Amino acid sequence: MATEAAYESILCVKPEVNVYRIPPRASNRAYRAADWKLDTPDWSGRMRITAKGNVAFIKLEDKVSGELFAQAPVSEYPGVTVETVSDSSRYFVIRIQDDNGRGAFIGVGFGDRGDAFDFNVALQDHFKWVKQETELSKNAHLADSGPKLDLGFKEGQTITLNIGQGKKRDKPRPQGAGGFGLLPPPPGGKVAPPPLSDSSNHNTLPQTDSSVTGLVELDSSNSNTVLQSNPGADLWGDFTSTTNSEPSEQQKATNWIQF
């Protein structure tokens, strides 16, 4: 991410900080605050941490006038610009730099551990934000440089939209008793039972009393259906089997065979 921001934001302000001259480090071992003259700081003032673009600035200023005493530009954290000491959490070593680019290492310390914690968190949060912005910018650049999906219509290409036209549901068929889809019997009569099982002629209707008139009539709507006009009369009698023409005792007791 480029540092083209035109304004400077304030990350943290601490009203009391002590500055120490530190001896040159003779080896690669960590700094120790015990090697400094902690009782006699070389300078005391205010610390203000600002950010401009990706770079943070640790500024040491006069408490009253606000005049700049020294500043340390920080481009990464943790890094060589800001280092901790091995024997305390309240002291740090920072690399200050003037306008000509000349630098020097000094020690800074806080009287309260909470101030040291805020100093550390302010730098961590800033560079966490820098990392996120860099990743977002990188992903956006990769998306722009990659192949783009062409969703436009080609010449002569059309599209059809079906709005408000759902599938028609099949209407349920009428069902009879038991739900087997049988049609009801025609009005005005009943379906005739099968003819008597006579050994001589199975298709001959039984003889009835001549005195009973109008016992059987044909339905004009269905010539193949025999209707019984008098339900109380025993029209058909008992069915007989082909092996025995005489009705049994059980058959005499009933007028109709149970289906």
**Amino acid in position 197:** S
**Which pairs from 89-96 meet CB under 8 Å and 24+ separation?**
89/113, 89/116, 89/117, 90/33, 90/115, 90/116, 91/33, 91/36, 91/116, 92/116, 92/119, 93/22, 93/31, 94/58, 96/60, 96/70, 96/71, 96/72
CATH code of the domain made up of 9-140: 2.30.29.30
The answer to whether 90 and 113 have CB atoms below 8 angstroms apart is yes
Give the residue carrying structure tokens 């500024």: 59
Q: Is it the case that residue 36 has pLDDT exceeding 70?
A: yes
Numbers of helices and strands, H then E, in the chain: 2, 9
Give the residue carrying structure tokens 């068929």: 173
SS3 65: coil
**Segments making up each domain of the chain, as ranges:** 9-140, 189-242
The answer to whether 33 and 87 have CB atoms below 8 angstroms apart is yes
**Calpha distance 52→80 (Å, rounded):** 19
Q: Is it the case that residue 243 has pLDDT exceeding 80?
A: no
- In angstroms, how far is CA 118 from the centroid of its own chain? 39
| Residue range 133-175, pLDDT digits in tens | 888 887 776 666 656 666 776 777 777 777 765 555 555 655 5
Least confident of 105-119, 149-163, 214-228: 214-228
80 vs 49, which has greater pLDDT?
49
CA-based nearest residue to 107, from 33, 30, 28, 27: 33
